Chain A
Amino acid sequence: MNYSQLLKFAAPETIVVLTALAVLAVDLTSLRGLEPRLRFIIGGMLACVGCAAAAVWMIVMPEQANAFGGMLVVDPLTQLVKVALLGLTVFTILISIESNFTQHVGEYLALILLATVGMMFLVSAEDLLMVFVSLEMTSLSLYILTAFNKRNIKSAEAALKYFLFGGMSAAFLLFGLSLIYGLSGATNLGGIAAALQGRKLDPLLVVALVMVVIGFGFKVAAVPFHLWAPDAYEGAPTPSAAFIASGSKVASFFIFAKVMIIGFAGATGSGAFGYYESGWVPMIAIVAVLSMVLGNLGAIVQGNVKRLLAYSAIAHGGYALLGMLANSQQGVAALVYYVITYGMTTLGAFGVVAVVEQATGDSKLSDLSGLCRRAPVVSVCMLVFMLSLAGIPPLAGFFGKFYVFLAAAAAVKNLGLLWLVVFAIAMSAVSLYYYLQVMKRIYISDPPAGAPRMRVAWLTQATLAVLAVSVVLLGCFPGWLVGLIERALASLAP
């Protein structure tokens, strides 16, 4: 394989990197004197065009390649996830454009794009080295994005917490990965699986597994590695939080599942009711159960919408893990559908919070009071997002949950994993309570006396509306995305 071929396979990533540099350069050289809003519009449009170009490139020129033994894997599935990631990035940029938390527009947009590049490489990686490098590339960009509001001390605090926890978990992950290399003598996932085949679950492998789960558990904010999430979401500038909750979740879940399902194919174990067998499945089953319980119960008592969304993200992480636990093709399809639609929904919810924050200065639940009369369009969008998160049909969140639950129930003979499904469904009944609390604020509480109608920029309104309509359409016609994912998966099967 020569470099020109490599460049061809990595073209989308290259386009995004070049866009990031271009945005930075244009902002530094020619936009300096302008007001931030204008710089945001010009830079943001440039960034969106770059992302769109990369996405179009992948759609028009589908490739299938495996460069350097899994360093860069390009196939229909990774391309589909990458297109989804680019879409989420575009929406993140669109909801950032009207924000006013920073003067460093070029740097902010470039960091978002670089984080996206990290995620794209992450999705394409089937080699431990590449996984770690791209994971760090994403994380470092996200730490800085969290700290980006220099005027707010909470933002710095959040970033520091995020960074310290993140650094620690990266150390765990690296330790785990090095143990795996020691055990198997390979860094690529297929090689690891082959080397570990038939090996008993010895203590060293257990330690390695636990370390890896800790490392990835942090990235997907699963209990008990979730402690950073509520603080980071609350303190970070809202668009950054939206990006952490959407794009980064999609990429992390995808690679987490890939490493576990491909790399540890020989150490699966069993989580079927009454037939436990040690391996990664029972371990992650416990993590999933804890996430669902703590996420949902924690969300009930939150008074701040961003914190509430953080706890709901933890809970949703728990549901998504069920798709991974299914350890089947259908499970992966369900997981991908779930995280993509979840990413869109939560991005929209954060977008609404950003609007409210700009008008009222805070994101407490009480700041949402009477929103339906202050900003009717935004309120309808929030209704869609909240109900989708609660899993009410015909919205995307419902089908996502349904698909994941179905995959989990079908995965093991004799409904072995049904206990997890029952648990998840019970917990999602609990979740309706706090989502309805948010809706109650918006639709039932009266607005504060004398509060004027909010001025919402048409671009923000249009972005949120597009997201809301997509959530409705993906829920009403799930067959389209499911078909795409399943065809992509089928093309991978040997």
Chain B
Amino acid sequence: MLAWTIYISFLGVLVLMLLPKGNASSARKVAMLSAVTGLLVALAGFFQFKAGELVTVAKLPWVPSLGIEYHLAADGISLTLVLLTGLAAVGGILFSWNIEHRAKEFFAFYLALIGGVYGVFLSFDLFLLFVFYEIAIVPKYFIIAIWGSTRKEYGAMKLALYSFIGSAMVLVGLIAAYVVSGARTFNVVELAKYPFPHDFQMWAFPLVFVGFAILAGLWPFHTWAPTGHVAAPTAASMLLAGVVMKLGAYGCLRVAMTIFPQGLENWQLGVLGLHSWRDVIALLSIIGIVYGALVALVQKDFKFVIGYSSVSHMGFVLLGLMTLNTIGLSGAVLQMFSHGIIAGLLFAVVGRMVYERTHTRELSVLEGMNLGKAMPFAAVTFVIAGAASMGLPGFSGFVAELQVLIGAWQTYPTFAVLAGVGIVVGVAYTLRAMQKAFFGESVGPSAPLGAKAAKLAGSEPGAPFATISVPERLGAVMLIGVAVLIGLYPRLLLDVILPSFDSPLFDWLRKGGAP
């Protein structure tokens, strides 16, 4: 049944293509219908799921002579991320309810992206996974290049090329794995069982891992993320940060770490205190956490703050993966979910609620607008989302990052301390952005549009902002609700995620990476 999440999305694309031109309202209704149905299917799948099992959704021969199968399946990790995709998809449409310019095409590309993302999370045949992974690239390019803002064509092209280079690396690894195993299969469970030669794993692992991690924002390959997020329209930023970055992290976990686990073993010699690819990646993710947070601290553009914060938060995911203990790994998966929700919410506030009303994202300009009074709903939403993002208890981010830190403490105590520093800086940049954007010094008695901003917006100085619309409120409430729900009752997800690591797929990893 879960396969319908994919089919419904692509069906939506077809319906949208056939719609008559220039009918924005029916386009968004079709898109909404498709996204909500997808979410309902995902929810149904989630609640029917028995922890620890591996649900085979579809298994048909596809290219028999090469042993390629159309094999969709789901374990707890896939399900968590499918659920996230459903939520982000609905949220994204709620926050792009006001799109009028080429709305039909916008939603068609949007649903194609969603369909590809669902497909990646559900594929258990690596060829199929790769196909869906690449399907997701092209719509991103068009969505950003057509409907984006600041340097949109540059951002879109950079994102497309980074993604494509990453997937090229993955493709080399997959082809090599297929040939070396000689088993004529791309089935991830089969390949995970195959004992690849140690030397082969040693070069194939970093190739495939980094190939996927480019999309997860691994430092120093993260630079597409801030520019891409900033250039993208709100819904696309939400999806980029919300689910597309998770594609990368998911690929790292599902593909690189399961079929080439020995790539994590120690080298014969140590360089600068690093003894394995595991150390290298853990170090890079720590750099990502701290660097992303520090850079976010000095941004002048509101959206760049959130863009860099994504790099920082995704660092936790990668660090969690490298702990190789159950608590760290499940923390990483939970962090994927949590960041998807919270980053989506932050981008929605910045891109949709603030930018589309003030037409500026310069923190120094926003400071003079007294937005806390002019749009209280946006301010409250941002305060809550910011608190969640900082990792305050009661929100999903806290549980996830705490788990990652505990996991890291067991393997990399120094790095755990440094990650703690990252969290502190995270508090600083969030508070700084919050204070500047919403609670700045008021220049006059309620002057919603300053002279400069009014010029940018093309309206009279002093004109009031449009009120926050119903879809925006709905979207914000939904995402906050989820973040709080998971924060208060994390077992809802953890009960599903944790048993997944008991499957034979992760045999090697559960032994803590010891040979």
A residues near B (Cβ < 8 Å) are: 380, 387, 392-394, 398-399, 402-403, 405-406, 409-410, 415, 418, 421-422, 425-426, 428-429, 432-433, 436, 439-440, 443-444, 478-479, 482-483, 486
Contacts and interface: CB of A to CB of B under 8 A. Distances in A.
Contacts of A421: 172, 175
Given A398-B131, A415-B180, A432-B160, 7 more contacts: A392-B135, A393-B131, A398-B134, A399-B63, A406-B175, A429-B161, A429-B165
Interface string B151-171: 001000100110011001001
A479 B131 contact: no
Contacts of A422: 172
A387 B138 contact: yes
A429 B168 contact: yes
Contacts of B64: 479, 483
A410 B175 CA distance: 9
A393 B135 contact: yes
Interface in B444-490: none
Nearest to A418: B176
Contact of A440 (B66, B131, B153, B180): B153
Interface string B127-138: 100110011011
Given A392-B137, A393-B130, A406 B168 contact: no
B62 A479 contact: yes
Given A394-B135, A482-B65, A415 B176 contact: yes
A486 B63 CA distance: 12
B179 A443 contact: no
Interface in B88-127: 127
Nearest to A483: B65
A479 B65 contact: yes
A167 B145 CA distance: 47
A88 B333 CA distance: 50
A429 B168 CA distance: 7
B63 A409 contact: no
B157 A436 contact: yes
Contacts of B171: 402, 405, 425
B49 interface: no
A387 B160 CA distance: 13
B191 to A, nearest CB: 15
A422 B173 CA distance: 10
Nearest to A490: B65
A398 B66 CA distance: 15
Nearest to A425: B168
Contacts of B179: 406, 409-410, 415
Contacts of B61: 479
B357 to A, nearest CB: 26
Main secondary structure of the interface of B (DSSP, over half): helix
A428 to B, nearest CB: 7
B63 A393 contact: no
A402 B63 CA distance: 12
Contacts of B165: 429
A429 B62 CA distance: 26
A22 B66 CA distance: 45
B137 A478 contact: no
Nearest to A333: B65
B141 interface: yes
B142 interface: yes
Given A432-B164, A443-B146, A486 B65 contact: yes
A274 to B, nearest CB: 14
B63 A478 contact: yes
6 contacts: A387-B138, A406-B179, A421-B175, A428-B168, A429-B165, A444-B146
A398 B138 CA distance: 14
A67 to B, nearest CB: 31
A409 B176 contact: yes
A431 to B, nearest CB: 9
Question: How big is the B interface, by class?
Answer: 20 to 34
A399 B66 CA distance: 12
A39 B185 CA distance: 54
Interface string B42-66: 0000000000000000000111111
B49 to A, nearest CB: 28
B178 interface: yes
A392 B168 contact: no
B63 A432 contact: no
Contacts of A478: 63
A405 B178 CA distance: 12
Given A405-B175, A429-B165, A392 B138 contact: yes
A394 B116 CA distance: 11
B161 A433 contact: yes
Most buried by A among B61, B130, B175: B175
Contacts of B176: 409, 415, 418
Given A406-B179, A429-B164, A432-B160, A444 B145 contact: yes
A389 B165 CA distance: 16
B157 A409 contact: no
B168 A409 contact: no
7 nearest A-B pairs in the assembled complex, by CB-CB distance: A393-B131, A479-B63, A429-B168, A425-B168, A410-B179, A409-B179, A429-B164
Interface in B171-222: 171-172, 175-176, 178-180
Nearest to B133: A393
B400 to A, nearest CB: 32
Contacts of B141: 436
A210 to B, nearest CB: 31
Nearest to A431: B164
A433 B157 contact: yes
Contacts of A428: 168
B36 to A, nearest CB: 26
Contacts of B146: 443-444
A428 B137 CA distance: 15
A392 B134 contact: yes
Contacts of A409: 175-176, 178-179
A454 to B, nearest CB: 16
A394 B142 CA distance: 17
Contacts of B65: 479, 482-483, 486
A464 to B, nearest CB: 16
Nearest to A372: B105
B63 to A, nearest CB: 4
Contacts of A399: 63
Contacts of A429: 161, 164-165, 168
Contacts of A410: 178-179
Contact of A425 (B62, B66, B153, B172): B172
Contacts of B178: 406, 409-410
A436 B160 contact: yes
A398 B161 CA distance: 17
A203 to B, nearest CB: 36
Interface in B379-436: none
B153 to A, nearest CB: 7
A439 to B, nearest CB: 8
Contacts of B175: 402, 405-406, 409, 418, 421
A418 B175 CA distance: 9
B236 to A, nearest CB: 15
A410 B178 CA distance: 9
A339 to B, nearest CB: 18
B135 A406 contact: no
A483 B65 CA distance: 7
Contacts of B153: 440, 444
Contacts of A483: 64-65
A421 B169 CA distance: 11
Contacts of A387: 138
A426 B168 contact: yes
A162 B46 CA distance: 63
A486 B64 CA distance: 11
Nearest to B162: A429
A175 B175 CA distance: 40
A393 B134 contact: yes
Contacts of B134: 392-393, 398
A492 to B, nearest CB: 16
Interface string B254-284: 0000000000000000000000000000000
